[in-house]
């Protein structure tokens, strides 16, 4: 059945229609939660809470929105709240920093690849990023969202998303370079971004249908 029909059914209170939406989106929601929280149990709880909140807020969903973006936005904000309770804090970019980054003539390192032996190494580096930067990276490279979609998911401006992605790439490049050097690798400094990241299929889990 088409997604739009399932959404319409769910908005009328049809739980079976919503259960099918859960079936469709449980893996991407779980993967986002896991990448943000780095803990299986927390990710499962967050995914469950995401679907419960989505069901409760379905009447606010508009037909001109993309359901996946709307759903991942709920998940993202819930994960940020959980991280804040863990004593992490959302890092906001000051206007001056934003303007300087946008005005910079330095090229974006989109054309160089982050080469890691496995997804676990990447995950370790990702965990060291502040939540705001971790979120845009996960949405971009694990969920294939465009900059515009990320902006809608996070509530940031398109310019802020671009800055966060740029800074996150550089932070990950430094982190992966440090790891490589520590392990006797030969990764060249500042020659790493996220143009290649294996999908973390080993981390995929199913979440219980929202009731």
pTM over 0.75: no
Tens of pLDDT, residues 21-39: 999 999 999 999 998 998 8
Which domains are assigned to the chain?
3-88 (1.10.1740.10), 95-201 (1.10.10.10)
> Cα-atom radius of gyration of the chain, to the nearest Å?
18
Q: Which of 95, 52, 90, 84 is nearest to 71 (CA)?
A: 52
Tens of pLDDT, residues 133-167: 989 988 988 888 899 999 999 989 999 999 999 99
Predicted confidence at residue 120, as pLDDT, reads 59
The predicted model gives 118-147 an average pLDDT of: 81
Structure tokens at 86: 């863990």
Tens of pLDDT, residues 51-95: 999 999 998 998 888 999 999 999 999 998 888 776 534 333 333
Distances (CA, A) of 197 to 33, 73, 121, 178: 18, 22, 11, 18
């Amino acid at each position: 059945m088409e997604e739009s029909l399932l959404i319409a059914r769910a908005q009328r209170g049809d739980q079976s229609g919503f259960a099918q939406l859960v079936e469709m989106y449980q893996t991407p929601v779980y993967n986002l939660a896991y990448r943000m929280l780095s803990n299986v149990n927390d990710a499962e709880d967050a995914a469950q809470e995401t679907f419960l909140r989505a069901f409760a807020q379905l009447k606010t969903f508009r037909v001109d929105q993309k359901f996946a973006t709307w759903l991942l936005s709920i998940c993202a904000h819930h994960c940020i709240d959980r991280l804040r309770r863990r004593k992490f804090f959302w890092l906001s970019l000051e206007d001056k920093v934003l303007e300087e980054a946008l005005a910079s003539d330095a090229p974006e390192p989109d054309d160089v690849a982050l080469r890691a032996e496995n997804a676990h190494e990447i995950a370790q580096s990702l965990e060291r990023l502040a939540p705001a930067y971790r979120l845009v990276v996960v949405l971009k490279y694990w969920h294939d969202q465009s900059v515009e979609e990320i902006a809608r998911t996070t509530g940031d401006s398109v310019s802020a998303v671009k800055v966060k992605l740029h800074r996150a790439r550089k932070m990950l490049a430094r982190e992966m370079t440090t790891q490589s050097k520590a392990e006797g690798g030969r990764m060249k400094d500042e020659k790493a971004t996220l143009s290649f990241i294996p999908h973390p299929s080993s981390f995929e889990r199913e979440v219980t249908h929202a009731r």
